[in-house]
């Protein structure tokens, strides 16, 4: 698949919009060329970071593809909501955001915490979501858990606020190339992204409290791509295997790498996403691994 000329690409436009009384910071790239009438790709981010952290992923996508990113309420440049929210309420808020942008249907890619939101969107608003990509994510409260030491480090936003601490623990919690280059984790979390108030992080944690997608995965009817790293301390590889087994129209792609490789190794992994979004299947073999 060739890369289109950069002149074909639409610019990313960052602005603020009001959605149900909450000011949200968003980034929108309109689809052009063959994607002008196609549903855009909505990106749902991990916990505690603004949408800039996903820039390498966006850069690796076809530049003509429409892409929507947003800061979760209380994170990055989006306003803190007046009260904590459950994940179902956030899914409803997101569909209202997309409708306000003129998109009644969209594809969704969820990374880590955002993968939980993507699963909720797919079952709660099934007529709005066309295709689903789940990357380095689990099924919530009922899943194969990370080691307690990893969960403890994830329970606070310290890594988003302390670059030295982020570099010290990056290999332990993210795995993959960050084991040999832990400073990469600090650069990723601190060079371009902003975290927002501490309460925003805890609101995100609370949104998933008691939530699990396990009972409804068999109800997902969208074509779904499940991606997981074989060296992901946060999401053990048994979790993407389970998701792919339970979702009726799922494909599994396992890669050698860690929790954030879809961003740090985007040039290697995003072509898998592009093939899937285009409706092409031969890139991924039944065992979940890409052909040599």
pLDDT for the residue 281: 58
Which domain covers residue 120, as residue numbers?
Answer: 6-143+195-277
Which entry of 27, 50, 78, 112 is annotated as an active-site residue? Answer: 112
pLDDT for the residue 6: 52
pLDDT for the residue 182: 81
Give the number of other CB atoms < 10 A from CB of residue 34. Answer: 13
Question: Which of 31-35, 91-95, 196-200, 241-245 has the lowest average pLDDT?
Answer: 196-200
pLDDT at 289 over 70: no
Which segment, 1-10, 60-69, 175-184, is predicted with the most confidence on average? 60-69
Q: Give a yes or no: residue 57 inside a domain.
A: yes
Burial of 245 (0-12, 13-18, 19+ CB in 10 A): exposed
Q: How confident is the model at residue 278 (pLDDT cuts 50, 70, 90)?
A: very high
How far apart are the C-alpha atoms of 72 and 178, rounded to whole Å?
26
Residues of the chain with pLDDT > 90, as a percent, come to: 83
Q: Give a yes or no: residue 68 inside a domain.
A: yes
Catalytic site includes residue 112: yes
Structure tokens of 165?
A: 């601490």
Segment 116-143, tens digit of pLDDT: 999 999 999 999 999 999 999 999 999 9
Spell out a b/e string for 63-96, using b for 16 or more CB atoms within 10 Å of the CB, else e: bbbbbbbbbbbbbbbbbebeeebebeebbbbbbe
pLDDT for the residue 185: 76
Helix (H), strand (E) at residue 111: strand 106-111
Q: Give a yes or no: residue 115 inside a domain.
A: yes
Average the pLDDT over 47-52 and give the result.
Answer: 94
Q: Give a yes or no: residue 163 inside a domain.
A: no
Alpha helix positions (H), the chain: 55-60, 87-100, 113-124, 148-154, 158-161, 163-174, 183-190, 198-207, 238-246, 261-264, 266-277
Q: Give a yes or no: residue 172 inside a domain.
A: no
The CATH number for 215's domain is: 3.40.50.1820
Which is more confidently placed, 288 or 35?
Answer: 35
Structure tokens of 40?
A: 């855009």
* Average pLDDT taken over every residue of the chain: 92
Q: Give a yes or no: residue 259 inside a domain.
A: yes
Domain count for the chain: 1
Q: Give a yes or no: residue 153 inside a domain.
A: no
Q: Give a yes or no: residue 189 inside a domain.
A: no
How far apart are the C-alpha atoms of 245 and 260, rounded to whole Å?
23
pLDDT at 223 over 60: yes
């Amino acid at each position: 698949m060739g890369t289109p000329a950069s002149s074909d690409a639409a610019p990313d436009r960052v602005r603020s919009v009001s959605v149900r009384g909450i000011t949200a910071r968003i980034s929108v790239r309109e689809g052009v060329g063959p994607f002008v009438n196609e549903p855009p790709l909505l990106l749902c981010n991990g916990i505690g970071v603004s949408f800039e952290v996903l820039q390498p992923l966006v850069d690796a996508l076809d530049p003509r593809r429409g892409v929507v990113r947003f800061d979760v309420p209380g994170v990055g440049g989006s306003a803190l909501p007046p009260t904590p929210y459950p994940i179902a309420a956030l899914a409803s808020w997101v569909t209202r955001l997309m409708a306000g942008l003129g998109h009644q249907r969209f594809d969704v890619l969820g990374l880590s915490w955002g993968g939980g939101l993507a699963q909720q969107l797919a079952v709660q608003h099934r007529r709005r979501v066309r295709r689903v990509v789940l990357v380095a994510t689990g099924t919530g409260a009922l899943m194969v858990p990370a080691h307690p030491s990893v969960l403890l480090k994830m329970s606070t936003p310290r890594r988003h606020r302390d670059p030295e601490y982020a570099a010290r623990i990056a290999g332990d919690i993210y795995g993959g190339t960050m084991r040999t280059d832990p400073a990469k984790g600090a650069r990723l979390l601190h060079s371009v992204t902003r975290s927002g108030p501490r309460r925003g992080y805890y609101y995100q944690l609370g949104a998933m409290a008691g939530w699990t997608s396990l009972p409804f995965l068999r109800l997902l009817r969208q074509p779904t791509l499940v991606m997981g790293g074989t060296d992901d301390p946060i999401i053990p590889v048994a979790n993407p295997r389970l998701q792919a087994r339970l979702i009726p129209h799922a494909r599994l792609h396992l890669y050698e790498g860690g929790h954030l490789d879809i961003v740090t190794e985007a040039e290697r992994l995003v072509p898998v996403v592009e093939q899937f979004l285009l409706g092409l299947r031969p890139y991924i073999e039944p065992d979940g691994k890409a052909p040599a």
